[in-house]
């Protein structure tokens, strides 16, 4: 970000991800459930950044000469984005070996970006200014369908399909590129779209004995879909007074389909009061190297390892209710990253999702957000999880 032979770290950030679920049996073979949860999120906070977009380094120090540096005054850069869902639907036990679950999902999203950007590139000339986008919205409902088949008492096979959904974001854009009536940043009305893409999932579990359970899973998310993937995000800003023309800022993502494979193990100790769980996941990032930047997940391999404990208590007053109280704690360590060389510098590329004439020069002042610049990109994530379940 600050130039050759430099590095910038966002440091440690804190991001709670709450969720809640409730389910009840409404018929002998039908359960109805509902929940709210966070589906995905990303973002970073970089403090005291000078010479944004990699200005020259002199004797190992970023160049702060106003004549050559885009922002000689240190700036803080912050981006926060998440997608959550409300979900309701029934599960049907069609036979003793076959289950069908259908859920209607209502996605919602919030996106805040407060940073210095080359917003002039959207108008055809390089010009840096402070920009703050504050957008949020709700998408249209779409289904998720799950099937479970139990061919043997020790084996369960599951498959899931999630349909795409579009979230309509609305909000404001504050920019210092053009002063407002009071001399401060101009506030514009803004809109944008965000896609929750198609997804497929397939899994198998095997209960080796009364205590040991093994699980395997494959998943694909179609971020690279031409119509319903996040090829780019176009923010349309409109002057509410009608004085200025409407203009668009296109942030290219160029995301590709993301594949992942998982393996998990659970072992329940004697008396069924305690269980140990462990897991491993590996997959590819949805980010492609040519469109990698410092706020979205890095291009390359993404992997994680996890471990946790489960505690179980039966209902002493009603022995027929097994595992009435369940407390689960876990932790997960995840890494994603890779290295980008010099192959994309000053090369022309079509903007993902744009028209045939939408061409930019990568890692250059042609871009509002520079992408494809060389360097090591990585994210380390630590998760701690606590969940409590009550059955009655």
Q: What residues does each domain of the chain span?
A: 20-390
Dihedral sign, Cα of residue 135, residue 173, residue 252, residue 117: negative
CB distance 111 to 81 below 8 Å? yes
pLDDT of the residue at 57: 66
pLDDT of the residue at 56: 67
Class of domain 20-390: mainly beta
The phi, psi pair for 323, rounded to 5°, reads: 55, 50
CB distance 377 to 340 below 8 Å? yes
Beta-carbon contacts of residue 58 (< 8 Å; ≥ 6 apart)? none
CA distance 325 to 322: 9
Residue 311 burial (C-beta neighbours within 10 Å; 0-12, 13-18, 19+) = middle
pLDDT of the residue at 66: 67
The phi, psi pair for 356, rounded to 5°, reads: -65, -20
Closest CA to 279 of 337, 326, 328, 323: 328
pLDDT in tens, 264-313: 999 998 777 899 999 999 999 999 999 998 888 899 899 999 999 999 88
Closest CA to 53 of 272, 327, 373, 387: 373
pLDDT of the residue at 123: 75
- Low pLDDT (below 70) residues in the chain: 56-58, 60, 62-64, 66-68, 180, 320
pLDDT of the residue at 67: 67
């Amino acid at each position: 970000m600050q130039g050759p032979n430099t590095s910038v770290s966002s440091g440690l950030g804190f991001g709670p991800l709450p969720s809640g679920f409730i389910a009840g049996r409404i018929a002998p073979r039908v359960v109805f459930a509902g929940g709210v949860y966070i589906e995905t999120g990303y973002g970073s906070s970089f403090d005291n950044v000078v010479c944004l977009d990699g200005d020259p380094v002199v004797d190992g120090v970023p160049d702060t000469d106003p004549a050559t540096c885009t922002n000689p005054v240190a700036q803080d850069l912050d981006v926060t984005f998440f997608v959550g869902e409300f979900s309701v639907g029934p599960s049907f036990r069609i036979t003793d070996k076959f289950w069908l679950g259908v859920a209607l999902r209502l996605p919602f999203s919030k996106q805040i970006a407060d940073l210095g950007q080359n917003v002039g590139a959207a108008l055809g000339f390089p010009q840096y200014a402070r920009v703050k986008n504050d957008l949020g919205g709700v998408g249209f409902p779409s289904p998720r369908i799950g099937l479970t088949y139990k061919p043997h008492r020790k084996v369960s096979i599951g498959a899931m399909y999630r349909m795409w959904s579009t979230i309509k974001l609305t909000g404001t854009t504050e920019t210092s590129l053009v002063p407002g009536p009071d001399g401060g940043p101009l506030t514009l009305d803004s809109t944008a779209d965000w896609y929750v893409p198609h997804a497929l999932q397939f899994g198998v579990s095997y209960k080796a004995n009364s205590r040991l359970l093994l699980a395997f899973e494959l998943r694909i998310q179609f971020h690279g879909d031409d119509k319903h993937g996040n090829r780019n995000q176009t923010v349309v800003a409109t002057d509410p007074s009608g004085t200025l023309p409407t203009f668009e800022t296109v942030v290219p993502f160029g995301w590709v389909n993301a594949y992942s494979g998982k393996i998990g193990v659970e072992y329940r100790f004697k008396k069924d009061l305690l269980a140990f769980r462990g897991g491993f996941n590996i997959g590819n990032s949805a980010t492609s190297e040519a469109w990698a930047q410092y706020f979205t997940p890095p291009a390359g391999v993404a992997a994680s390892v996890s471990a946790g404990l489960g505690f179980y208590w039966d209902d002493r007053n009603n022995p027929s209710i097994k595992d009435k109280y369940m407390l689960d704690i876990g932790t997960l360590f995840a890494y994603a990253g890779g290295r980008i060389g010099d192959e994309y510098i000053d090369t022309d590329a079509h903007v993902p999702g744009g028209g045939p004439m939408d061409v930019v020069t990568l890692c250059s002042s042609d871009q509002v957000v520079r992408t494809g610049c060389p360097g090591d990109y990585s994210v380390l994530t630590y998760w701690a999880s606590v969940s409590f379940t009550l059955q009655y």
